């Protein structure tokens, strides 16, 4: 009860002090506002809302553990979230409002590549730090912006590992059906194809579908006529689940591989477990119950309890950003000097609260590009759920060098 | 050959959905001259509501669909009465803006009531029939049959009942209809009620065949308008032919030309038809 | 013309906007003001076809996209200076509009809105899928701003850019005013009243409609080009259907046909959704409801309401 009161008082003080210039309150317990710009409505809200939820949850975890400690003060995190609909203009507006009006210096969220790229294009000139979650477009970290970090690895890092895996399993003619109008999915397929070619295989078809398409039978019928050895499905969970269902309905009996990162609930909403049986998912070891550590399981439990539904597998990217930010602020010893905090982020080892399993480069969570890397894994649908089968060998350090060379 | 037949079959199911959306749009457009842009969002609402009634309220699926259709009828009447009637005398642009406002409101309500995850209506129909290498999922067959039944009953209603004749009279000549004693205040209400009910059916079909997700409403209404142009404004046979043509064109375009540009090809066909037959495939010159 | 005080209001607004950087410190408002001025250019164009000729066109954002990608790609591939590509953008857009409008405008009637909607979707599909040219959904970053640290003006400074957009918006408003006052404007309004009559007295109505459509596109092309160089980032998402609907809203909410209408409407569509951020999840619902109520209770837009009030107060005094 007492703590709730203090919290409320702190929030109130923050609310009053905020518009008047922020950090002049003299109490030992202070409020640090962090901002979220994410798709809370519209088509991309499927990814944006869980991210915003995960950020709120992480902030409460930190507050319950005594807040962010700088000098003698401890700062309670106060999350202020704006909807950007996944749209670049709206994201620019939301971030401008966060920086200029809400006087926020730390901005998280960003499930969509377009919105993240638009903000990334001006963030270097601002007195702020941007922590990107789920947006997977490679170019966001390829420019090495000093005050930007991202937890989700670029798609081609995972695609290369996936191509080697499928090649090793001896498939020679692989048909691809993917959301290829989305840049990072196309990158995944490019990297996949390169590794598959090395193993003597080739991609015989590259069919595409849009974000809103749910009827993929025309593409699948075309692929069926080509008699491929295997099918690779690359895209968001919602359409991908329909591809798996419709491929069975069309009587296609070939191994199916995917890059979708969907949870069991998401697939079972669309397809039966029999229709999913044997499907592979080749992706970062995101939050699924099979691959999760103790921290991951706890996160899954807390989120489910709090929001009445399980977290989407990719939402912890944003969760981990909050914890990384906390440690970086404490290491830098300042909440005001964003340059110092941005530098501290790049010196950080993966924090113990992190849900994803990061592969540190030279002992650091974020490399010099500001990019983090997680392990990649091969998962297979067996008897109603995803089973973690094996790790996909992936070289974070080599990819980090490659990413820096794109500059 | 098998591929061609399969592709045409693939296109028929989605074509049936387009027909139902377009039927609602075309009666509203033909009689009231309103480009009812919110029709797609309302269809989405109907699909989500059905799913909610079946899953959370525990109704049997058919009862849930019937209940959602009834709600749809009332919603349609309310939309006409509260939103469109006040701007009836003004320019048709004003009605269009009202339609946009309605779209936003319904989209916002959908998000509040049913959440952001895609909604799929589970039917439990997962058998697949196979005839000579061509596969037809059971569910698709039922959707095509249901669409056909709805189209037939709509046609009968308009052709054979007194209300239907009154609707046609207003569509053809409003002033003459008034002189003949048709109640022109009631007709728009009935038209909106029926077209929204049809929209709800389309939403249920999309929700059971595919899924209802944020943004699907806009996709549905755009396709519905494309059918309108293809078939001819205000023409019921036009909506039927146009919907089927659009569905099959998309499937063939994706299967034989390019899946990335299938929508573009469908629109190109639409614009080509418009140039050669400005009144649409079935419209009167 | 019919409403003199509009010019006074416009002049006052222009002075106010030029002084804006001095009045407010928050870059946030300055940023929104620049966006609203860009939308003013697009909405002045939309007003020609929608307000004067009475044809709803749902492709204004698509044309902004052609202008934005036009100026960006010309700059990237031919190393042309920013000023030149910005100047070329409206002409490039006009060419596309000519090709699109020639067939579709010969068809009379209400199909036009839906055909233009299809054009917007086609533009969106091409921008998204022609990745070798447009970089697809990932978009193009690092689009240069005009001027530079060594030039006369440094447009990376927001206040300077605000002045640039203000001048452009003013010039385009002036151009729209000239068109509206000319014989072309009169003919367009006659088409809105009764298109058959216009045809009957031997005026080829479709030529005038085509002119309005192409001119509207050129306005949009310029707006898109300014947007691209201001934001330094573009992707297809910015030029979708929802933004075309905003252009229509700007005209009708501000007041169709009036010269100040698009200007007021543009500020409305940029600022109101931002203001409604406090409503959070109910933002869409409130915005939609506001639109419906506004259309029912003030069908002639904000300018219409203002001129009614003005007329009433004048009558009161006399």
What integer pLDDT is reported at residue B177 of this predicted model?
A: 80
Candidate from C28, C232, C280 with C-beta closest to A100? C28
Please list every residue in chain C whose beta carbon sits closer than 8 Å to the beta carbon of residue B232: none
In a domain, B49, yes or no: yes
Count of the separate structural domains present in chain B: 1
Nearest residue, CB atoms, B218 vs list C113, C241, C289 = C241
Any domain includes A366: no
In terms of domains, do A169 and A259 share one? yes
Q: Residue for token digits 């405008």?
A: C105
Q: Cβ contact (<8 Å) for A186 and C231?
A: no
B113 part of contact set with chain C, CB < 8 Å: no
The answer to whether the beta carbons of residues A355 and A375 sit under 8 Å apart is: no
- Tell me the HSE value of A15 on the side-chain side, using a 13 A CA sphere: 8
Write down the domain spans for chain C.
Answer: 5-317
The residue count of chain C comes to 318
**Highest mean pLDDT: which range of A115-124, B231-240, B263-272, C285-294:** A115-124
pLDDT over 70 percentage in chain C = 89
Residues of A with CB under 8 A from a CB of B: 41-43, 45-46, 49, 180-181, 207-212, 214-215, 217-219, 221-222, 224-225, 238, 242, 248-251, 266, 269-270, 272, 275, 309
**Residue given tokens 């994410």 in the structure block:** A38
For residues A250 and A382, state if they share a domain: yes
Domain assignment of residue B18, yes or no: yes
Are the Cβ atoms of A222 and B255 closer than 8 angstroms? Answer: yes
Q: Is residue A23's pLDDT more than 50?
A: no
Please report the pLDDT score of residue B179 as a whole number. Answer: 80
Q: What are the φ/ψ torsions at residue A380 (nearest 5 degrees)? A: -130, 145
pLDDT digits (tens, 9 = 90+) for A253-265: 999 999 987 888 8
Structural domain includes residue B134 = yes
The 10s digit of each residue's pLDDT in A190-228 is 999 999 999 999 999 999 998 788 889 999 999 999 999
- ipTM over cut 0.90: no
Higher pLDDT, C318 or B130: B130
Section A335-351 average pLDDT: 94
Contact flag B226-C114 (C-beta cutoff 8 Å): yes
Structure tokens at C64: 């902004």
Which position has the token pair 């080697």? A164
B268: containing domain: 2-276
* Residue B283 forms part of a structural domain: no
Nearest-Cα distance to chain B for C249, in Å, is 7
Listed in sequence order, the residues at least 6 apart from A124 whose beta carbon sits closer than 8 Å to its beta carbon are A145, A146, A147, A148
Whether residues A11 and A136 fall in one domain: yes
| Segment C100-109 mean pLDDT | 75
B135 with A209: Cβ contact below 8 A: no
Write phi, then psi, for A134 (nearest 5 degrees).
-85, -15
Beta bridge pairs of residue A80: A35
In a domain, B125, yes or no: yes
User: Which chain B residues touch C290 with a CB distance below 8 Å?
Assistant: 101
Q: Which domain holds residue A272?
A: 156-289+376-405
Looking at the domain assignment, is residue B21 inside a domain?
A: yes
The subunits that touch chain A, with at least 3 C-beta pairs less than 8 Å apart, are: B, C
Residue A276 CA to residue C113 CA, distance in Å, equals 44
Say which residue the tokens 């387009």 belong to: B18
State pLDDT tens for residues C18-45.
666 656 657 788 899 999 999 999 999 9
For the sheet containing A73-83, what is the strand order?
A68-70, A73-83, A29-38, A106-109, A129-132, A148-150
Put simply, the answer to whether A89 touches C138 (Cβ < 8 Å) is no
In angstroms, rounded to a whole number, what is the distance separating the alpha carbons of residues C247 and C210?
Answer: 19
Q: Look at residue A356 and tell me if it is in a domain.
A: no
- In this complex, is the C-beta atom of B251 within 8 Å of any C-beta atom belonging to chain A? yes
In terms of domains, do A204 and A141 share one? no
| Residues A236 and A97 both lie in one domain | no
Confirm whether B123 is domain-assigned: yes
What is the pLDDT confidence band of residue A24, given thresholds at 50, 70 and 90? very low
* CA-to-CA dists, residue A284 to A136, A191, C71, angstroms: 12, 15, 39
Chains touching B (3+ CB pairs < 8 Å)? A, C
Q: How far is CA C225 from CA A289, C120, C144, in A?
A: 49, 17, 11
d(CA A9, CA A3): 10
The verdict on A297 and A316 lying in the same domain is yes
Contacts of A97 in chain C (CB under 8 A): 28, 274, 277
Name every residue whose Cβ is closer than 8 Å to that of residue A50 and which is 6 or more positions away in sequence.
Answer: A311, A312, A314, A315
| Contact B88/C at CB under 8 A | no
Read off the CATH number of the domain in which A6 is found. 3.40.50.2300
Calpha distance B17→B47 (Å, rounded):
12
Cβ separation of C231 and A87 shorter than 8 Å? no
Cβ–Cβ below 8 Å for B118 and A272: no
Q: Which residues contact B199 (CB under 8 A, 6 or more apart)?
A: B20, B21, B24, B39, B40, B42, B43, B46, B72, B76
Give a yes or no: residue B284 inside a domain. no
**Over 80: is that where the pLDDT of A27 sits?**
no
**Model confidence at A8: pLDDT above 60:** no
Does residue A164 form part of some domain? Answer: yes
Candidate from A13-27, A111-125, B57-71 with smallest mean pLDDT = A13-27
Are residues A126 and A45 part of one domain? yes
Strand partners, A148: A130
Least confident of A232-246, A257-271, A346-360: A257-271
Give mean pLDDT, residues A76-99.
92
pLDDT band at C110 (very low <50, low <70, confident <90, very high): low
């Amino acid at each position: 009860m007492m703590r709730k009161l203090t919290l409320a008082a702190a929030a109130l003080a923050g609310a009053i002090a905020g518009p008047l210039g922020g950090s002049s309150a003299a109490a030992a317990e202070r409020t640090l506002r962090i901002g979220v710009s994410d798709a809370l409505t519209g088509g991309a809200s499927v990814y944006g809302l869980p991210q915003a939820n995960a950020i709120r949850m992480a902030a409460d975890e930190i507050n319950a553990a005594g807040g962010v400690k700088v000098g003698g003060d401890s700062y309670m995190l106060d999350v202020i979230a704006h909807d950007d609909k996944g749209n670049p203009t709206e994201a620019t507006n939301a971030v401008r409002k966060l920086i200029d009006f809400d006087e926020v210096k730390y901005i998280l969220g960003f499930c969509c590549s377009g919105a993240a790229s638009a903000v990334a294009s001006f963030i270097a000139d601002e007195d702020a730090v941007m922590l990107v979650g789920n947006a997977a477009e490679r170019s966001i970290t390829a420019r090495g912006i000093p005050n930007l970090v991202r937890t989700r690895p670029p798609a081609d890092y995972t695609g290369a590992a996936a191509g080697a895996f499928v090649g090793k399993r001896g498939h020679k003619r692989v048909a691809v059906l993917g959301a290829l109008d989305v840049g990072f999915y196309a990158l995944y397929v490019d990297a996949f194809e390169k590794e598959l070619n090395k193993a003597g295989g080739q991609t015989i078809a590259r069919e595409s579908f849009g974000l809103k398409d749910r009827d993929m039978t025309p593409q699948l019928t075309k692929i069926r006529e080509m008699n491929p050895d295997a099918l690779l499905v690359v895209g968001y969970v919602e359409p991908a689940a329909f591809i798996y269902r419709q491929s069975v309905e069309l009587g296609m009996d070939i191994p199916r591989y995917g890059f979708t990162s969907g949870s069991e609930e998401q697939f079972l909403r669309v397809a039966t477990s029999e229709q999913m049986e044997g499907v592979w998912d080749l992706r970062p070891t995101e939050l699924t119950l099979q691959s999760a550590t103790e921290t991951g399981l706890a996160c899954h439990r807390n989120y489910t309890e709090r929001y009445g539904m399980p977290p989407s597998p990719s939402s912890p990217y944003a969760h981990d950003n909050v914890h990384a930010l906390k440690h970086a602020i404490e290491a830098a010893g300042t909440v005001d000097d964003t340059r110092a905090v941005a530098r501290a982020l790049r010196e950080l080892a993966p924090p113990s609260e992190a849900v994803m399993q990061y592969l540190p480069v030279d002992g650091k969570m974020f490399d010099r590009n500001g990019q983090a890397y997680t392990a990649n894994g091969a998962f297979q649908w067996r008897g109603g759920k995803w089973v973690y089968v094996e790790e996909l060998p992936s070289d974070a350090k080599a990819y980090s060098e490659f990413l820096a060379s794109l500059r | 050959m098998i591929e061609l037949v399969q592709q045409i079959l693939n296109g028929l199911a989605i074509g049936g959905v387009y027909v139902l959306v377009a039927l609602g749009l075309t009666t509203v457009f033909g009689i009231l001259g309103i480009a009812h842009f919110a029709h797609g969002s309302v269809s989405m609402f109907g699909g989500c509501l059905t799913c909610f009634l079946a899953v959370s309220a525990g109704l049997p699926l058919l009862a849930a669909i019937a209940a959602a259709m009834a709600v749809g009828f009332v919603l349609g009447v309310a939309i006409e009465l509260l939103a469109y009637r006040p701007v009836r005398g003004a320019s048709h642009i004003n009605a269009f803006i009202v339609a946009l406002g309605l779209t936003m409101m319904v989209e916002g309500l959908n998000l509040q009531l049913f959440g952001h995850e895609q909604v799929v209506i589970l039917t439990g129909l997962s058998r697949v029939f196979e005839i000579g290498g061509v596969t037809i999922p059971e569910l698709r067959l039922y959707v095509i049959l249901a669409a056909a039944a709805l189209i037939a009953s709509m046609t009968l209603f308009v052709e054979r009942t007194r209300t239907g004749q009154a609707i046609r009279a207003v569509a053809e000549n409003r002033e003459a209809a008034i002189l003949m004693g048709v109640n022109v205040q009631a007709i728009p209400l009935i038209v909106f009620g029926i077209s929204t009910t049809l929209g709800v059916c389309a939403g249920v079909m999309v929700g059971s065949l595919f899924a209802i997700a944020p943004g699907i409403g806009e996709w549905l209404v755009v396709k519905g308008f494309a059918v309108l142009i293809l078939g001819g404004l205000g023409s019921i046979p036009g909506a039927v032919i146009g919907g089927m043509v659009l569905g099959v064109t998309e499937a063939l375009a994706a299967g034989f030309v390019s899946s990335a540009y299938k929508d573009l090809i469908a629109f190109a066909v639409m614009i080509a038809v418009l140039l050669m037959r400005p009144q649409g495939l079935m419209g009167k010159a | 013309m019919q409403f003199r005080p509009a010019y006074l209001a416009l002049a006052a607004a222009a002075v106010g906007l030029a002084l804006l950087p001095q009045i407010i410190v928050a870059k946030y408002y300055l940023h929104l003001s620049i966006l609203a001025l860009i939308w003013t250019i697009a909405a002045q164009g939309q007003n020609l076809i929608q307000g004067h000729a009475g044809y709803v066109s749902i492709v204004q954002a698509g044309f902004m996209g052609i202008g934005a990608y036009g100026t960006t790609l010309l700059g990237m591939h031919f190393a042309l200076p920013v000023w030149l590509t910005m100047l070329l953008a409206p002409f490039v857009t006009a060419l596309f509009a000519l090709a699109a409008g020639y067939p579709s405008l010969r068809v009379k009637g209400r199909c036009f809105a839906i055909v233009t909607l299809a054009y917007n979707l086609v533009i969106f599909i091409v921008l998204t899928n022609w990745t070798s040219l447009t970089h697809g959904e990932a978009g193009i970053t690092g689009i240069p701003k005009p001027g530079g640290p060594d030039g006369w003006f440094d447009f990376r400074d927001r206040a300077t850019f605000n002045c640039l957009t203000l001048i452009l918006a003013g010039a385009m408003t002036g151009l729209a005013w000239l068109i509206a006052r000319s014989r072309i404007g009169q003919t367009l309004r006659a088409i809105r009243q009764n298109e058959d009559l216009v045809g009957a007295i031997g005026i080829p109505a479709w030529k005038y409609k085509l002119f309005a459509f192409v001119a509207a596109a050129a306005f949009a092309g310029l707006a898109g080009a300014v947007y691209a160089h201001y934001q330094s980032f573009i992707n297809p998402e910015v030029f979708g259907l929802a933004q075309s609907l905003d252009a229509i809203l700007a005209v009708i909410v501000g007041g169709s046909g009036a010269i100040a209408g698009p200007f007021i409407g543009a500020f409305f569509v940029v600022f109101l959704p931002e203001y409604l951020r406090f409503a959070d999840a109910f933002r869409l619902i409130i915005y939609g409801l506001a639109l419906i109520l506004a259309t029912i209770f003030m069908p002639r837009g904000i300018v219409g309401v203002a001129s009614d009030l003005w007329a009433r107060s004048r009558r009161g005094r006399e």
